[in-house]
Structure 1
Amino acid sequence: MKAVHFGAGSIGRGFIGQLLHDSGYDIVMVDVNTALVNQINAHQGYDLYLINHAYQKVTIDHVTALSATQDSQALIEAIVSADLITTSVWADNLAQIAPVILKGLVQRQHLQKSRLNILACENAFMNGQILHDEILKADTQQELIDLDAVAAFANTVVDRMVLDYVTAGQHSVAIGDSFELAIESSQLVDPKTPPIVGAEYTQNLQKYLERKLYIINCGHAWAGYIGYVLGYNIIQDVFARADLVQQVRQTMEESARLLVRKYDFTAADLDHYIDFAIDRYQTPGIKDPIARVCRSPIRKLGPQDRLVAPAVQLEQYGLPNELLLKGIAAALLFFNPQDEQCVILQKYLTDHGLPQTIEHFTAISAASPAFKKIMKSYDQQRQLLAQHRDGEI
């Protein structure tokens, strides 16, 4: 079997590439980085290092690489002969790879090749649908008779700790043990024939999307924003304090109560998931800047995102949400002059005041009990911020 994977970055090699290898595929990696393409071809593979096992080396073999910019004909031929296509190029870049995928699919159509699974393993909601739509947009000459007759685009949820790791002059990847790849089984070519070993297949992807967003992404962002208020610059300094770790856990537990109420998760399931998340954040030797964790606060304060969405739904169910609201208040205080969203947010706050800012960016109504709690927490944390960061706001 052959898989073509777009994106030979840390997720591509350290997560999807490993699963493809373990599933028995010969892999063609596609990337714009010529040096990385040459390195993979020189070794017919690449190395991974296991963070949880003293950085033990694992070699992923049966891998070749193509340049996305220089090997277009060979890439089209690889798509024509592929049994599976996967991507990890960042969702914003799916439009860049859609034209060459289109060309390969048009050739498959002419040759009457079998229908193909294409999995966009991107950290984006409805990632498969995004790629599907980008391929349709690229088909300006209407060469494909019917895209859905040629390929299937199942949406996915992806999560794993992967870090760039340079050793002996080679670009490698360090990976954590735990991972999540959930695949929307109903959208596969054949739901009874899973294409990747080790993935979780579900007919209800929404619950996995919300579990990751409301627990892992939520807890990470909460720790970052609270850590910023307390004067920390590295997220691991937050996770070095037992009291703050407990608060992060309790924040995740607020979201977990919501997920138990909405879906068929058990409290025990989500306790294990929270343990997995916190263990990751406490991995020795990792240094993650708070400026990176907290970046793009407008997006992270959105009504469908990691902090606001669970907080609002918990209020609707009459369940506790105080710690989530504290995180929202802290996010409103975050400022990094190099972050465009921070600049926009703080200017809006200066021009329009806190009440209008809360409503504008979170869509939380002033009539909501949550609104008043955010206002109160904002004032309390603003005082802490002034103590720890010399009054940056």
Structure 2
Amino acid sequence: MEPERVVIVGAGQTGRGMFGALFYKEGCYELTFADTDAALVRGLREQGHYTVEEKDLLTGSVEHVRVDGFSCVDVADRDAYLDALARATYIAVAVFPKSFDDVARDLAEMVRVRKARGVEDVAAVILGGNFVGLHEYFQRAIEAQLNEDERAYARTYVALATSKANRKVVHAGTGAERFALTGDNKSVLPVEDCLPFEAGHRLPSFFHIDPDVELSMIEKIWSENLIHCSLGFMGACAGYTTVNEAIEDARIGALALYAWFEGRRALEAAYGIPVPDEAAIKTMMEKFDTPYFHDRIARIVRQPIRKLKKGDRFLGPALLCIEQGITPYFILRAAAHGFCYEDAAEPQSVEMARLVRELGIDEAVRAVTELNPCEPRERLALEMLADAVREVSCPRRVPEVFSRVLG
């Protein structure tokens, strides 16, 4: 029997470091990476392998996984790329939201290819990404490009399933090991319970079929990612380079935890998800401050405009708080720090600083977050966030004001 084929769309940190390593360790899949970065595709082909260092963040124990025997395809090579998608049993998507529409277009083209070939085997598209409403977004974007017959085919033979790909993975390679990665050792992938394979089909052993991954995704983004980015934004403003340094700053650590607690209270009120107990909170904080993994703040705060938009890790829980009668003071204060630093190496940071300079704080906050001032909840969040930006940025401006006044 031929091995089932797996195509991983996005050969970056999650694509290689979680999806690639987990499928490879099963030992029974033919693995292909697809990416838009031609240099990355070429480099992976030439090297023929990469290593993932999987760490237990509490004990420091390590397993090294050497992934090899894979193939790579450049997304620009449309025939090869679509052929790989059309022949796959599993397609794991590991891209940033800015690429969602492009991948949805590719998956719609794959549907047409499979239908034209008369393929009647199920393909499971495993959606990975920190995004609330992932399944709905992709389904709507794909079906909008298909005709009625193609949509009917897709609903029968192409299954979309949200997954919670939540490994912390960073680049670690240099020289001969330039594609090496290091991260935590999460060995389970929660996957939405909607895969229509025939009885007896063997799913990957690392799949944990979850009846409500979307809710689990909300919990992850609006609490775990919330505190992670709170530490990152405040740490960036303080001049720190790693999240470990930020969390060891008593003030930053406390403010980030307060923001997290506001989000958790809203999740409990809205969805019945209980606030973790003290032991779980202690473990969470220890993992952020682990001596075995130093997550760089530059990685955490990349693409700040995306992270400050409505529905993402700050404004999502903030609006939920307001809906539940909880004031999101600390969430919005943490978010405000995202407007108060500028990193020349991060284009979105530079763009946000330009918006603040040219539009002023109120209009810049509205433009970045896309909050609607005509909607009461969103207007309140908009006003609170703009005020927080003024407060956070004030200490930087005071010396300038005094120097001008005193001559």
Q: Within 5 A, what are the aligned runs for 1:154-233? A: 154-166=161-173, 169-170=176-177, 171-178=179-186, 181-185=189-193, 187-190=194-197, 195-233=203-241
- Return the TM-score normalized by structure 1: 0.78
Cα separation, partners in 2 of 1:133 and 1:65, compared to 1, 3 Å = farther
Greater shift after overlay, 201-210 or 71-80?
A: 71-80
Q: Retained in 2: the 8 A contact 1:238–1:244? A: yes
Cα separation, partners in 2 of 1:99 and 1:332, compared to 1, 3 Å = closer
Greater shift after overlay, 173-182 or 305-314?
A: 173-182
Aligned residues: 384
Aligned residue for 2:93? 87
Cα separation, partners in 2 of 1:348 and 1:262, compared to 1, 3 Å = same
Aligned residue for 2:296? 288
CA distance in 1, matches of 2:32, 2:161: 20
1:324-380: CA deviation from partner (whole Å, max 9, x where unpaired): 131133233233355554455445444554445555544466997766755654444
SS of residue matched to 1:87:
strand
Residue 47 of structure 1 is aligned with which of 44, 47, 51?
Answer: 51
Counterpart of 2:205, as a letter, is V
CA distance in 1, matches of 2:145, 2:62: 42
Q: Retained in 2: the 8 A contact 1:224–1:293? A: yes
Greater shift after overlay, 214-223 or 371-380?
A: 371-380
Counterpart of 1:149, as a letter, is T
Deviation, 1:255, is 0.9
Aligned residue for 2:29? 26
| Pair 1:3 & 2:5 matched | yes
SS of residue matched to 1:29:
strand
1:99-129: CA deviation from partner (whole Å, max 9, x where unpaired): 7756665554434432221213234444455
Q: Retained in 2: the 8 A contact 1:166–1:172? A: yes
SS of residue matched to 1:86:
strand
Cα separation, partners in 2 of 1:147 and 1:273, compared to 1, 3 Å = farther
Q: Within 5 A, what are the aligned runs for 1:1-393? A: 1-6=3-8, 7-23=10-26, 25-31=28-34, 32=38, 33-40=41-48, 46-52=50-56, 53=60, 55-60=62-67, 63-68=69-74, 78-79=84-85, 81-93=87-99, 105-106=111-112, 108-109=114-115, 110-128=117-135, 130-132=137-139, 146-166=153-173, 169-170=176-177, 171-178=179-186, 181-185=189-193, 187-190=194-197, 195-268=203-276, 272=280, 275-276=283-284, 279-280=287-288, 282-284=290-292, 286-290=294-298, 292-337=299-344, 339-350=346-357, 352-358=359-365, 361=369, 362-363=371-372, 374=385, 377-386=388-397
Counterpart of 1:2, as a letter, is E
Aligned residue for 2:405? none
CA distance in 1, matches of 2:379, 2:96: 36
Deviation, 1:152, is 1.0
Cα separation, partners in 2 of 1:341 and 1:198, compared to 1, 3 Å = same
- Return the TM-score normalized by structure 2: 0.76
Q: Retained in 2: the 8 A contact 1:3–1:20? A: no
CA distance in 2, matches of 1:375, 1:130: 29
CA distance in 1, matches of 2:102, 2:198: 29
CA distance in 2, matches of 1:194, 1:389: 66
CA distance in 1, matches of 2:155, 2:289: 40
Identity rate, percent: 17
Deviation, 1:58, is 2.5
| RMSD, aligned α-carbons | 4.1
SS of residue matched to 1:146:
helix
CA distance in 1, matches of 2:228, 2:356: 24
**Gap runs ≥5 in structure 2:** 403-407
Q: Retained in 1: the 8 A contact 2:243–2:294? A: no
CA distance in 1, matches of 2:224, 2:169: 15
